[in-house]
Structure 1
């Protein structure tokens, strides 16, 4: 372009010069000049048009060349990305295998419900099928989502490559043969790279489309089966009291071989347990964390109790700290099962067995032998009935087995009530649970005899679940009460006005809310054994989980409960952290934890803020709505809350700058005392007179604060002494120094000093200075020093002067004699 532009410029200069020469010929005729001028203008216009067209063509060629280079580079980048994605993207073979497994498991789930229906459907099989189908549907939807995203990504790659390949500049060829040859070579190389990748993308799209169709069909099949199972459950609930089989002694039905039923039930149970555990790994991790926290708390109670008891043995009434690990396992196993949403029976059974084993070890040696044998008998029958509940299809052998379990429950209940050792019971309410067990087992035996298999099995399992869960829940409350009572006695020595967790406020027993929740939990676990449970609970579930709208904002009752629960939990956690951080048994100044108190406020604020954000995120409140609320609060703060904000900000300043810590001895506005609390808005100072000063943090920072605990935790004291004239000052000085150095409470560095301050006609004035550690014994040390000095003076006959005055009385007789 540059050489061509130079030629054009030179040509223009030459033409301009020629025009100047022709313009100088003024003697020629006007017609000739006019003709020559027109000829020259036409030539110049033709030359300008051709030059413009040539320049435009060159510009378009250059631009097309740049677009070609950029397009080729972009196509190569997309090819590389497509290659990488095809290697590392979705494994279609694994997806195909997963869909095949889902179809296989769906076939297993339908056994006894949609296929192999030699015997009537059972409620346990319907429930297991429903849970397994729900797990398979979730996995199928996951694969469907992956396939949809995979196909979308492949289509994007193909679209990008095709759109770049259709760029019109790619089909603009240069007139330069050398450039054209190189460009064609580049296109050939690019075509060789694009062709296989494009074919691979097309094949992947076809495979993905086929898998998508398979996933869609499988999803439709699972949803249809779930609807049928719900219909079957409704029918079973409506016909609950209708016998499905003949009398047990007239059994004429043809059942599947018992071995096949056991094998089928084991396979189905394993699948349900595996799928549910995999989908709740996070909650299981939280349960382990809760177990660790509970064990640490009980262990801290045990250590604190040993310190208070001075090495005495732990009594039987303190069962929770005799076995900290077993107690923690038992409490968490009973409470943590409610963290899971609708767990299958086999999953809940694991928690019940762990809790039952832990309770058995806890009660060993704690209760009488009679009730220990009764507990072991009920636990054994519960395990046997739970094993029966895992059998998903009916058989004649199982009916006789159920009859044996019901009869055994009746016999055990009769023996328990016959012995009548109720006064030995630790928990008297257990008697009512045993009575309910006997009643349920009686009806289970009756309905089993007449052929109501599903109702008989539900009553059989419900009877033993009722008594075992009731006993374990009662003992859970008992252990919690023991822990709270111990914590009340060991940790309730903080002042009641502290803004920390204080077990004096919590009380010595579990709150009534825990009793209510455990009763509700017992009802839920008891009701799950009956077919009508799901249809009774469904309206309640809908009430809590249905979406409601206020304007453009949608919410549910469960989200509101979750919001308040998260906020309350964050507040409780912040209080627990702050309480244990300032407890003297946990941290002490000698352990170098003195400075932790000033950070407790920051820790609490952080925990509460995290709780608020988690609560907002849990209920789905958008951030822009929160910003509006914060803006409104800002307006309110600007008009009427300056003092409150000043105190809050001052609390943060105290936490960062740490001018004082908990347990520091301070002096503010002429008042001395000990810092007992550093709160959000105010701090609490306990005076040496026993009073409490609640001082706003703003006033605390603005006052002249004297912290006697800072600066190496030492304090200087002085005693002023007057001695009579004539004493040996050097000996007095040496004796007093020796006396001070002999006291272990007085520091040797800086060493004590004795100065003679003044001399007067009445006495010699001296002042004693000494340093001591900043403790609550300052007044006691000074008193002991004064007593010791006084004893020293008495021993060495050193006189302490007292005010005296000589009075001379002159009389008249004395004056006469004198004259």
Structure 2
């Protein structure tokens, strides 16, 4: 009913699928779903009960599956239903001696006829652009024809056990494929309906995650479908228990590596527990940060610290459980800790330093996600604070990975730690002769009239100094951090325009060069003196002391 109330039309593919299964055929789809759950929950049932339930499942799929896959599915289900019912009645004829052989032979002939006429030969008339389910059955029909041929020949030559086995494998293969595919379609439709209902309710927790949830759920559903297909096929071929016994012994077999004993099953348990642990950790992060702590009035950075603490606790607990499941003795970790200490002393100093620095960043909170920081000529926004490193996105668009140790040990400027305001300074000079009082009023007026400039603190215009070529002023104003560059540019243009309107000149540096004209007689006298001065130092020495005698 909730899905019916959604504003969806036939142009939406999800709505079409849900409508064709649950709206058009509610009783058959609901009956099919209940019987599938019953079979999964109650594994050990009599053969006659399994046969009856299988017949009902095939009959129910006859109503809704063709409307999703196409009319070709109706022919496939009819073949499966006829063969399945014939195979069920085979049990009765075993009470009549030789009549059982005649029945098996007749059953194999009917199976060969149906598969060839409506399968192999019938598929040639169908178009190529058919559903993948129909293509699968097209390939399967050749295998089925081979199995039924073996059953027919075996019954003729008296190999009844082989005939019964191959006939049962062929018939139940068709039924199992149809039933599992129908169950997949039903469950997939339920997932699509739940996702559409969730999108319409606009849950904050699942915003932008519905597509991912739908994709992962359908992937998991496909894996389960393949698992149950293999399981039921092994049961049909009567090899399920031998395979499970061999697999159990293989997984439990232990290998000794020094004093350590491990098994394949232990390693797989280790991997599975770790995967579940990290999955739960990611889910807890989403729940705590995006749904629970977002509604609490905690200081900035505290929700992230709480989330990280819980996640680290879960991961530590999961790792310990995984090691225990793998058969590793946790009491031997004392020696491992000593070896790890030596390794840290030699080669892992930076890694441990960055890890401890990450914990300091989380709990001391000098930097939070979303802050704008400046460190080592790097300026940008913090996108993530990890265990070993943090991601900083610069204003050029680059993603820079900064080790956490650099954020702790180096001088760090956090522009937005306590608030999102920054002060902008604009310097300007005016020509000598300009009234400084008028300039101060105009500068403050330009800043006050800009929409991005904060009214508190109020903009200030200051007279700075008497410069070499100008009277120098400073205009100080506060803006939101992200508006700093644009506001400074706008106000600089506004200052220029208002100075132009009030005939105030913005000077440029000037140098005055004074040329002094000397007396003409003095110039000539200096020239004569310079002519008598010897140019060569050796000549000057000779003129003063005379030649050497």
1:709 to 416, 435, 439: 416
Within 5 A, what are the aligned runs for 1:36-47? none
Q: Is the 8 A contact 2:120 2:141 kept in 1?
A: no
Q: Which residue pairs with 1:374 in the alignment?
A: 72
Q: Is the 8 A contact 2:255 2:262 kept in 1?
A: yes
Within 5 A, what are the aligned runs for 1:720-731? 720-727=427-434, 729-731=436-438
1:658 to 343, 356, 365: 365
Count of aligned residue pairs for this structure pair: 457
Shift of 1:646: 2.4
Shift of 1:720: 1.0
Q: Which residue pairs with 1:182 in the alignment?
A: none
Q: Partners of 1:810 and 1:693 in 2: how far apart?
A: 62
Answering whether residue 141 of structure 2 is matched by residue 435 of structure 1, we say yes
Q: Partners of 2:66 and 2:417 in 1: how far apart?
A: 52
Q: Partners of 1:441 and 1:761 in 2: how far apart?
A: 105
Q: Is the 8 A contact 2:429 2:506 kept in 1?
A: yes
User: Relative to 1, partners in 2 of residues 1:700 and 1:813: Cα closer, same or farther, differing over 3 Å?
Assistant: same
CA deviation vs aligned residue, 1:450-508 (integer Å, no higher than 9, x gap):
7754543332111232355479889999x99xxxxxxxxxxxxxxxxxxxxxx9xxxx9
Answering whether residue 331 of structure 2 is matched by residue 636 of structure 1, we say no
2:394 to 687, 700, 714: 687
CA deviation vs aligned residue, 1:549-597 (integer Å, no higher than 9, x gap):
56776543212211122224434555677699999xx999x99987655
Answering whether residue 330 of structure 2 is matched by residue 612 of structure 1, we say no
Gaps of 5+ in 1: 1-310, 327-332, 481-502, 815-819
CA deviation vs aligned residue, 1:414-446 (integer Å, no higher than 9, x gap):
575133212244678535554357537845984
Q: Partners of 2:437 and 2:16 in 1: how far apart?
A: 63
**Structure number, greater radius of gyration:** 1
Q: Partners of 1:377 and 1:474 in 2: how far apart?
A: 18
Q: Is the 8 A contact 1:543 1:557 kept in 2?
A: yes
Q: Is the 8 A contact 1:758 1:766 kept in 2?
A: yes
Q: Is the 8 A contact 1:722 1:800 kept in 2?
A: yes
Q: Which residue pairs with 2:498 in the alignment?
A: 792
Shift of 1:685: 2.8
Q: Which residue pairs with 2:91 in the alignment?
A: 394
Q: Is the 8 A contact 1:723 1:765 kept in 2?
A: yes
Q: Is the 8 A contact 1:473 1:518 kept in 2?
A: yes
SS of 2:72 mapped into structure 1: helix
Shift of 1:660: 0.8
Q: Partners of 2:42 and 2:117 in 1: how far apart?
A: 33
SS of 2:174 mapped into structure 1: helix
1:421 to 124, 127, 136: 127
SS of 1:621 mapped into structure 2: coil
Q: Which residue pairs with 1:647 in the alignment?
A: 354
Q: Is the 8 A contact 1:755 1:767 kept in 2?
A: yes
Within 5 A, what are the aligned runs for 1:223-234? none
SS of 2:464 mapped into structure 1: strand
User: Relative to 1, partners in 2 of residues 1:433 and 1:733: Cα closer, same or farther, differing over 3 Å?
Assistant: farther
Q: Is the 8 A contact 2:464 2:472 kept in 1?
A: yes
2:266 to 559, 562, 566: 559
Q: Partners of 2:16 and 2:111 in 1: how far apart?
A: 37
SS of 1:612 mapped into structure 2: helix
Q: Which residue pairs with 2:198 in the alignment?
A: none
Q: Partners of 2:299 and 2:356 in 1: how far apart?
A: 28
Q: Is the 8 A contact 1:378 1:468 kept in 2?
A: no
Q: Is the 8 A contact 2:184 2:221 kept in 1?
A: no
2:238 to 531, 537, 558: 531
Q: Is the 8 A contact 2:431 2:505 kept in 1?
A: yes
Q: Which residue pairs with 1:116 in the alignment?
A: none
CA deviation vs aligned residue, 1:97-133 (integer Å, no higher than 9, x gap):
xxxxxxxxxxxxxxxxxxxxxxxxxxxxxxxxxxxxx
Q: Partners of 1:380 and 1:795 in 2: how far apart?
A: 92
Q: Partners of 2:424 and 2:458 in 1: how far apart?
A: 12
Q: Partners of 1:408 and 1:628 in 2: how far apart?
A: 70
Q: Is the 8 A contact 1:587 1:593 kept in 2?
A: no
Answering whether residue 462 of structure 2 is matched by residue 765 of structure 1, we say no
Gaps of 5+ in 2: 1-6, 22-32, 95-99, 192-210, 521-549
1:739 to 431, 443, 446: 446
Q: Which residue pairs with 2:541 in the alignment?
A: none
Q: Partners of 1:408 and 1:426 in 2: how far apart?
A: 21
Q: Partners of 1:579 and 1:320 in 2: how far apart?
A: 29
Q: Partners of 2:339 and 2:81 in 1: how far apart?
A: 60
Q: Which residue pairs with 2:485 in the alignment?
A: 779
Q: Which residue pairs with 2:545 in the alignment?
A: none
User: Relative to 1, partners in 2 of residues 1:542 and 1:760: Cα closer, same or farther, differing over 3 Å?
Assistant: closer
Q: Partners of 1:376 and 1:743 in 2: how far apart?
A: 73
Q: Is the 8 A contact 1:434 1:467 kept in 2?
A: no
Shift of 1:707: 0.9
Q: Which structure carries more helix by proportion?
A: 1
Within 5 A, what are the aligned runs for 1:77-156? none
Within 5 A, what are the aligned runs for 1:320-399? 371-378=69-76, 394-396=91-93
CA deviation vs aligned residue, 1:241-288 (integer Å, no higher than 9, x gap):
xxxxxxxxxxxxxxxxxxxxxxxxxxxxxxxxxxxxxxxxxxxxxxxx
Shift of 1:673: 2.2
SS of 1:423 mapped into structure 2: coil
Q: Is the 8 A contact 1:752 1:771 kept in 2?
A: yes
Q: Partners of 2:229 and 2:300 in 1: how far apart?
A: 45
Q: Is the 8 A contact 1:668 1:705 kept in 2?
A: yes
Structure-2-length-normalised TM-score: 0.63
SS of 1:659 mapped into structure 2: coil
User: Relative to 1, partners in 2 of residues 1:739 and 1:313: Cα closer, same or farther, differing over 3 Å?
Assistant: farther
Q: Is the 8 A contact 1:724 1:798 kept in 2?
A: yes
Q: Partners of 1:379 and 1:744 in 2: how far apart?
A: 71
Q: Is the 8 A contact 1:440 1:463 kept in 2?
A: no
Answering whether residue 320 of structure 2 is matched by residue 623 of structure 1, we say no
User: Relative to 1, partners in 2 of residues 1:550 and 1:809: Cα closer, same or farther, differing over 3 Å?
Assistant: closer
Q: Partners of 2:379 and 2:16 in 1: how far apart?
A: 41
